[in-house]
Structure 1
């Protein structure tokens, strides 16, 4: 099974080996800016960035087809996994916070619905019968 949080070469969006597209997918940055950065780093730091690029392209695994399918189906899912890769602890806190907020809102609804507020009960009954 493919790990969603791992780094993969993105062969579908590749120009040369898929390294820049893979970095863009992993970090969530636009692939254009990653490519510009790699070109500038290669110009100013020749030959080390070029060697690193080739080594990454040779060592990294290509992105599994199953991960392409899930990203095309739900862009929100893709964004979630990019956040998780960047800061796993923060993602967990965000999920917990979201669930606490949902739970709080459900409790407020339950209190309103089960309260002994006769005016509210009458209004609900009127809405049901109309």
Structure 2
């Protein structure tokens, strides 16, 4: 058992995507991590290899050896995958989105609490129970 198999999967980590790979999954993994189109990342790699072959080939081989394979069930659904990609690409915006969601949830919860704690709540519930 390797070290990467013992550590639980981290959705913020850079993985090789061996399911959608062309060679070793490095470009597919980069595109998943950054939320970019795979064709764009692969095209940039090919262009870079044409102009700077030794650097790009060496860096690809090093990334191939260093990056672990992506676990099978890293994300439950597409929404979770989109969320973690936004955390990787724009962490400040993600924190703002979460703060807005919690503020909305807090407002809704305060409204429910006001409704339940009013003196009329028990009376209305008793009238509903009489009709049922």
Report the TM-score range of the alignment, normalised by the length of the smaller protein: 0.7 to 0.9
> d(CA) in 1 for partners of 2:112 and 2:62?
57
Root-mean-square deviation (Å): 2.6
Q: What's 2:26 paired with?
A: 19
> d(CA) in 2 for partners of 1:102 and 1:7?
32
> d(CA) in 1 for partners of 2:117 and 2:69?
55
TM-score of the pair, normalised by structure 1: 0.74
> d(CA) in 1 for partners of 2:14 and 2:74?
16
1:114 positional shift: 7.7
1:54 aligns with 2:61: yes
1:100 aligns with 2:103: yes
Structure 1 unaligned regions, length at least 5? 116-124
Structure 2 unaligned regions, length at least 5? 1-7, 119-126
Aligned residues: 120
1:39 aligns with 2:39: no
TM-score of the pair, normalised by structure 2: 0.73
1:69 aligns with 2:73: yes
Q: Following superposition, which runs of at least 4 residues in structure 1 exceed 3 angstroms of deviation?
A: 105-115
- Cα–Cα, structure 1 residues 84 and 15, in superposed 2: closer, same or farther, change >3 Å? same
> d(CA) in 1 for partners of 2:45 and 2:74?
28
Secondary structure of 1:69 counterpart: coil
1:6 aligns with 2:6: no
1:93 positional shift: 2.3
